[in-house]
Structure 1
Amino acid sequence: MFLSPESLLQLLQRFIKNSIQIKQIHSLLIISGNLLPNPNPNTNSSTFKWIPTLLYNTLIRAYLNIHLPHTTLLLFTHMLSHNIPPNPHTFPSLTKATVAAYTTPSLIAKPLYTQALKRGVLSDPFVQTSFIHLYAKSNCLSYAQKVFDEMPEPCLVSCNAMLDGFCKNGDMDSAVSFFESMPVRDVYSWTTIINGYNKRGCYDTAIRFFQRCLRDCSVKANEATFVSVLSACVHSVTFGKQIHGYIIKNEDQVTPFIGTSLIYLYGKTGHLDYATKVFESMLKKETCTWNAMICALSSHGKDKQALEMFDKMKIEGYHPNEVTFVGILAACSNCNLIDLGLELFDSMLPQFGVVPKMEHYGCVVDLLGRSGFLAEAKDFISRMPFEADASVLGALLGACKLHGDIDLGNEVAKRLLEVDPQQCGQYIVLSSIYADVENWGHAAFLRNVMVGVGVHKPPGYSVVNSM
């Protein structure tokens, strides 16, 4: 059956998020020759001239939608090799694909910008904004600033892209200066600056900007704004409660992500009763909501309740992910439920499709070590599919201290010092093991070694928190 290029284009647009259909239509386009240059360039139909470009643009966007960014970029090289001219709609998808495909997108950013310049599409504000995003995410702020400065009339979206670039690269001084100079701000502008300070650990400043946001009558805080500021409130639960009250008063409902942030806040600060009330009042939940509740219960010694929550989560049809298993394996460790913990760990991949990561292996080592199965924990580490990091070895070293196993403690400590020689924790734990058995000479020797290699124990301090 013959299908015209226009029909194939319509099919591609219709199934643009369907992986199987995209690949089938792509095959038809290759077989029919519709991805080659127009054989009749003198045709009067301007639309027909641009059909190959439209087909490539749609394919590029389609493969980006199905999370195949390398294929997206490969299609662009095919496009150029067949002399199909890109247009302004080609480049925004390519910049997103570059960020998704490469850990160092700067290697592709500059050649891609050169192509846009060569094709004469850089005057388009959407193309300019996409390159601001790309350069900002490539840690090339000076290039992002250059693109922005060349825009005759930057729109709000472009300003927000530049602001996001400053914040993501940790340049909060430039971010604030730029933010204050913006002629117009929207909720995204405010959320970006709040999130920027939050990620830098400047929680009080993040809260102050949120307060300013609420006073700005032209802006209404949205879900992302509340999630950002609630993350900052872990160090100020009183203000977190005030925001919770504001949400109840001004929002139609507690959304899954706002609810998850509230549960995380109350769980981190030990207010399990508030966390439980939020969880039970939510009309709609996500997997992350269950994870927050399970981890809150587990971290505060409510391990049996955490395990019951895990069972309920599965009964209600939610699919556990890697975060779920970190929380539930920690609960098993706290309760010394070795058989259940190992059973859950073994079920991760075959039953739930979750590939165990370093954190999960660390939880199992802690589970075995706490219960005194040190040899089994050591054997478990030896069978790991990758080299154990400091967190896994640290869990075993802590178990050696708990059970007074000096020989294994020595062995684990030597491996730890190879993995992370500047971490003071392993020196202190091993020194404590020697001190517990009154081997003061070895304990003092380790403290001297710490000084010799320039490792310093952070000083302790006390905090008085009046509630």
Structure 2
Amino acid sequence: MKQIHSLIVTNGHLLHHSNAPSSHQWMPTLLYNALISAYDNHHHKSLHLFSHMLANQVPPNSYTFPPILKSSPLPLGSTLHSQTLKRGVFSDPFILTTLLALYARNNLLPHARKVFEEFPVFLIVACNAMLNAFSMNGDMETAVSLFESMPQRDVISWTTVVNGFALNGNFGASIRFFGKMMNHKDVVEGLVKPNEATCACVLSSCANLDGKTALDCGKQVHGYVVMNEVKLGVFVGTSLINLYGKMGCLSDVENVFRIMVVREVCTWNAMISSLASNGREKEALEMFEQIKLQGLKPNSITYVAVLTACARGKFVREGLDLFRSMWQDFRIEPIMKHYGCVIDLLGRSGHIQEAAEIIRNMPFQPDASVLGAFLGACRIHGAIKLGEEIGKKALKLQTQHCGQYVLLSSMNAEKERWDHAADLRREIMEAGIQKIPAYSMVHLT
């Protein structure tokens, strides 16, 4: 590349001359487009180049707008939409698809549909973008209707719907739609083949369901990956580790981890979580050290996983040291989940006063999950007065939730403080809060 660059310079072809032939009239536009594309991930720089382009009366064309629209915030995106109309390039499929995606990610589904209707002919790329728009905005019924009306589908079409159900929490439907895909003539006849993204999506759905059926489905997908030589990349491998870890299949977890050629931080996070949730907390901590030896940088999720391991293993000193190291070593700002893990760690180990001190000094208001973990620890260790002090904050956060009231009332009843327990029960009734009835579930395999 550098040799070619040198030849261009030495032969005098680098500069654009004013007396160049008319066939070169679009050269400035091409140069600006190349620079804008090069700054694809630096939105402010690409926008500055676009402004400079207009100031110098260089006409933008259909290749100018997609990279700018790709990362534009909504108000600017609408302005650029107007520019495409003004410049007569609005009907370009790439511009229409990028605009559609812009409105979809900003939850403007009617705008996305209006852009979609501007496509003059059927384009599978446009349909896939619209499928994703419906999925992102929770309208899976319309997404499926559009999918079924498409005269042609590719693997992205199928994967978008499978992932759409998962995005909206309907993991069972995600798995069933994948099953429909595998039995469809497009797959049977080899016209469409599930790829890494498809497999990762359905494995993630399996991991979010309990029971033998979900595990069996995950194993079938794993078998398909092996038999059809689908790439066992980071996404599929991590999804398998996550699934097997949640199902308690640690030998499968270790096998997948061992054969993975490329492991990213997300892979190590899944491995640490799997070990932590299956009674091998010490190994989870050792794996955290291995991340650093591999030259990878732990992220916020890594610390949630390793702090959870500390809480379950009651490694108080190690957990507190890790919590402090987040900012000191990696400049990771602790979020609510990290504080929840630390409160759980101290609560399980009986360090109630220390947990209360952390709650009082948190840089933001603790949420109900943090306070609920603390109240549970207070009940186990009999710290009633401290529980009542912190419990008042929980009641303010969840005024219409019966859980915290019932927990506080039960704590007082266990210590035979019947008047306090009765007062809390009375508050539930006066506030009109309905106690959620308990139930049991039997899972038949």
**TM-score scaled by length of structure 2:** 0.87
Return the alpha-carbon distance in structure 1 between the equivalents of residues 59 and 400 of structure 2. 55
Aligned to 1:19: none
1:460 Cα deviation (Å)?
A: 3.3
Task: Kindly report which structure 2 residues correspond to 1:68-467, keeping only aligned pairs within 5 A, or say none.
Answer: 68-98=42-72, 102=73, 105=74, 107-215=75-183, 216=187, 217=189, 218-234=191-207, 235=209, 236-251=214-229, 254-467=232-445
Q: How many percent identity over aligned positions?
A: 49
Return the alpha-carbon distance in structure 1 between the equivalents of residues 390 and 44 of structure 2. 42
Return the alpha-carbon distance in structure 1 between the equivalents of residues 23 and 245 of structure 2. 61
Return the alpha-carbon distance in structure 1 between the equivalents of residues 175 and 300 of structure 2. 31
1:220 Cα deviation (Å)?
A: 0.5
Structure 1 residues 157, 259: CA separation in 2 closer, same or farther (over 3 Å shift)? same
1:143 Cα deviation (Å)?
A: 1.8
1:183 Cα deviation (Å)?
A: 0.9
Unaligned runs of 5+ in 2: 10-14
Which letter maps to 2:300?
A: E
Structure 1 residues 229, 315: CA separation in 2 closer, same or farther (over 3 Å shift)? same
Aligned partners of 2:195 and 2:230 also within 8 Å: no
Aligned partners of 2:196 and 2:231 also within 8 Å: no
Return the alpha-carbon distance in structure 2 between the equivalents of residues 459 and 69 of structure 1. 52
1:365 Cα deviation (Å)?
A: 2.2
Aligned partners of 1:306 and 1:328 also within 8 Å: yes
Aligned partners of 2:36 and 2:50 also within 8 Å: yes
Return the alpha-carbon distance in structure 2 between the equivalents of residues 75 and 397 of structure 1. 56
Which letter maps to 1:161?
A: A
Shifted more, 323-332 versus 245-254: the winner is: 245-254
Aligned residue-pair number: 426
> Per-residue displacement from partner, 1:307-336 (whole Å, max 9, x unpaired)?
222233333443322111111111112222
Return the alpha-carbon distance in structure 2 between the equivalents of residues 132 and 458 of structure 1. 43
Aligned to 2:33: 57
1:49 Cα deviation (Å)?
A: 5.1
Shifted more, 246-255 versus 457-466: the winner is: 457-466
Structure 1 residues 424, 301: CA separation in 2 closer, same or farther (over 3 Å shift)? farther
Return the alpha-carbon distance in structure 2 between the equivalents of residues 357 and 177 of structure 1. 40
Specify the SS of the correspondent of 1:319. Answer: coil
Aligned partners of 1:370 and 1:399 also within 8 Å: yes
Aligned partners of 1:148 and 1:154 also within 8 Å: no
Structure 1 residues 378, 70: CA separation in 2 closer, same or farther (over 3 Å shift)? farther
Specify the SS of the correspondent of 1:64. Answer: coil
Return the alpha-carbon distance in structure 2 between the equivalents of residues 240 and 227 of structure 1. 10
Unaligned runs of 5+ in 1: 1-6, 12-33
Cα-Cα RMSD: 2.7
Return the alpha-carbon distance in structure 2 between the equivalents of residues 318 and 425 of structure 1. 41
Return the alpha-carbon distance in structure 2 between the equivalents of residues 406 and 119 of structure 1. 71
Aligned to 2:12: none
Return the alpha-carbon distance in structure 2 between the equivalents of residues 75 and 459 of structure 1. 62
Which letter maps to 2:277?
A: S
